[in-house]
Amino acid sequence: METIGGHHWAAQRIPDDCYIAAPNWFSITDFDFTSNDTMASADLEEMIEKYHLDVDHSGNPYNLRHIFGSHDDSDYEYNIPRQWYIQKLFNPSDVHEPDDPNLPFIKKPEHLLTIEDFKYALSSRYQHTKYDLYGSQGTEADRHAFRPIGF
């Protein structure tokens, strides 16, 4: 569930065989107001239309991340890399970069996830990449480019 300030909110059901990596930013992308898998405050869609907030002009489904999310430099240091790394752990065959602001909200993992997978992901510092704070790959600038998920 995402809160949108005031009295507005949106929620989307995550399928049982999927996961989300939700750093500190608005995460929901493809939001269909007519789906049985979504819920929202009663006037949210009306508010989007009334105030011309759908900057992508995508209509239903809406990219709520683009409409209500942040779009500033801190996302590229704190939020996007965290989402990228967790998706890299759970979907290693996917090819994305740590500065891709269009990472999917919901992903189906390539293997059955365990408690150990989540523990590792939530305490990670970009291990085995040039961004590892304590690693030897990459430059000093690379190793300090992003805030670790945990350490």
**Residue 19 host element (H or E):** strand 19-20
Predicted TM-score of the model (pTM) = 0.90
Rg (CA), the chain: 17
Please tell me the distance from the alpha carbon of residue 107 to that of residue 20, in angstroms, as a whole number: 6
Q: Note the pLDDT of residue 151.
A: 60
Q: Note the pLDDT of residue 117.
A: 98
Q: Note the pLDDT of residue 23.
A: 87
Q: Note the pLDDT of residue 141.
A: 97
Identify the segments of the chain with pLDDT beneath 50.
none
Q: Note the pLDDT of residue 6.
A: 81
Q: Note the pLDDT of residue 5.
A: 82
Q: Note the pLDDT of residue 50.
A: 96
| Nearest C-alpha neighbor of 25 from the set 102, 92, 120 | 102
Helix (H, G, I), strand (E, B) or coil at 108: coil
Q: Note the pLDDT of residue 60.
A: 86
Q: Where are the beta strands (DSSP E) in 52-144?
A: 62-63, 106-107
Q: How many CB atoms lie within 10 A of CB 39?
A: 14
